[in-house]
Structure 1
Amino acid sequence: MATQDNASRGRWSELCNNMKGLADATVNDNETLRAAIKALEHDIGIWGRVSAAGDDEQGMLALCVVDGSRTMFSTPYLHRGFVGGRLAAERLLSCIQERLDSSKNGISSLGELNITISVYCAKASLVESLEGRGVCEPGVIDAFLAGFSQASSLISIVDVIDQESVDDKILTHLRTFAVLPEVTHVFFASGYESPMTSISETLEVIGARDKLYFLRSSGSSAPVTVALESIDTQDALAEESPVEDKSPSENEQISPLRLRSPLPTSSSPTSAFSSPITSLKQRPIINPNMPLDRQNPHPCNEFYLMGECPKADRCRYSHEYELTEEQLKELGKIAKALPCSYVNNGQECWFGAKCAWGHTCPQGIKCRYLSKGTCRFKAAGMHRSQFSRTSPTWGPGAREKAI
């Protein structure tokens, strides 16, 4: 009798476990379906706005897509919850609107309501990461996202399952809408590990590559792997990634265990939002099969070319490579292909001839992006022969082409 009772209890326990497994699977499937429905509703809403716009020039759209798993909104905004969310959205809209107002695409005006912002993120991972790092509590994050989405009727937060789904949905979203004639600009915000090459190639295939712009935080730059004009979002975005990547990227190579050699440090102020480099991380080595601008992490241009980095040990780029003279020359060419932010904004460069960044476009007057108004070198004279200048801090003036 006891044996039968034990067998019955065993079968009953097995049956309960099977039922629990089915219930858990059903819950997971429902969560996946709900996320898919939200994403579809978001896309349908954009389709409706595009359809309503029709041929009306005033109804044309500018798309802004934010990779919320790689781009972090500035901490002062996050800490203010709902109000901070609205302020961050308004600042982001203002930066985009300023760029649109300077465009010469035959569009008389693009009002704020013509800018759609879609933030794609895996909210559960985002909340867990920010809470675990002591950035802010879950309730504050929820309030921030609510305030951000309510700043405009054309702003939406799309919650997806994981980072891979974020990438897939962003690519699908851009592939679907960027090709439409009603869409005149595509602004993309993401972090250093963003799939910019894939996005650029996707838009190139559908003929929308010229619409693409990169939104960046102050002090950072657009990815060097693609030639994009970058838009400074001032203090709306931060350089720090909101979700930490716990696994090394496929291209990262780590040298065998060895002691780190002393590195020079800088007394310059550090950025409050840049990614710290842990002292436990082993020194990386250069992958000889990849150019310097594809290394992970990327060598810090300012550290290697100017002798110091203003972010010191909080810089997101590496100060630990041992570069040869040839590699330093290669890094210099890469940096010169990126505009100096001072000269590009019509100001005098503090560093003069020692500046690592470009004061003139490497392509000069033959630059193919100049005629399209999409070259990153925007200030007056940056496409003239560098030999015509008397100083690398050549003074500001009227732009060659308003962009």
Structure 2
Amino acid sequence: MPANASEMCMAEKMTESLDVKALMARTVELEKECERLRLNLRPNRIVALIDGDGCIFEFERIAQGRTGGLEAARCLAAGIRQQFKVGPHRPLSVYVFLNKSGLKSTLNKLHINSEWDDLDKFMVGFNQASAGFIMVDVGWNKEAADAKIKALLEKEISCPQTEFLVFGGCHNAGYVPNLSTHIVEGFESKLYLLTGYNECASQIKDLNLPTFQIYDLFIPEKIEVTRPYTPSPSPAPSANDFEFDMDEASPAPDYLTPDYFIPVTRRRRADSSASYASSVNSCASTYSDCAKSAPNCGAVAIPPSTAMRAIDASRPVWKQSPRLCSVYYLSSAGCNNPECYNSHKYTLTDVELYNLREYARKKVCSSANNLGDCPRGEDCIYGHKCPKLSSCHFQKLGKCRFKAKGMHTPDNM
């Protein structure tokens, strides 16, 4: 074979070899590109749909206005990420729909949230917490929040990028047909239930979907607002007419009896049942004066119940119904709020008082947190130090409620 023919053959083989290598390299590049596209298209979004008419945020948070809204959003985000064990890189969208005027009316009837703009500021804070957090007032239209949530549920559950959908409407059985439809269509693995109240609707519970709760975020019990009792027309009563037999009377339930019908002299922590009974007897004798000084709220003045109640052992001391007043039981000054909506009628053991005190210290003192100093000093019932101190996971993420300097440092350092 001529020399130049042999060289040409070798050149052709080398060219073919180079072409194969180039093709293999291109194949590897294309496979990497396909994998990247698969990762980008993989479901990675978490969407939360919350019915704000049933999942009502803690009144203490609402009373804090914008700050409370920011903290509520952070607590909600932390609870959801903890449930799914994901980091802050995972996209999270939260939609809360509520009837703002209706909620304000309910708070007013319960003598809660005297500052009318607190709820507005709370909503502003929640919306400012993250670009993906939206709290919307849907107005007075009946089931307006339901319609919004059902429409978004239909859209988000079928979106390929939605990995998990958190549904916060467990109080309302009207959502059952929609949830059942999506379960049948094969989206059951995406659905998770977020409960506001301790108990959800039995029909929703029967769906057997994964359920979780974020403690201290929503009120645990359904609000019951009873229409005030209107007596039949009768002659104007005298002061002595208020001396009646408590067994024959029909007072409202304890949780509807406003504390402002109780004289200020009674507003101290009861050391024993005897001292409490004594103060109640004193209150009954001066009831006519109390009725005259009561706020004009449209309700008939009802004398305070003489019955003390024991703690329900099946629940934590801070989860009682009606909720007890932490300030009344823990502060040496007691509760001086004439419109306090929490109960002062529980008898607590030393262990229950200790548990309540430890729980209160887990809540950050707003004065110490915002001003760096608390005027109440050692008498403050709230926390001046994060319970986790330097080992706090949320501090490392910049999301701990205890933000003031030194709140994560032990006292001996």
| TM superposition score normalised by structure 1 | 0.44
Structure with max Cα Rg? 2
Normalised by the size of structure 2, how large is the TM-score? 0.43
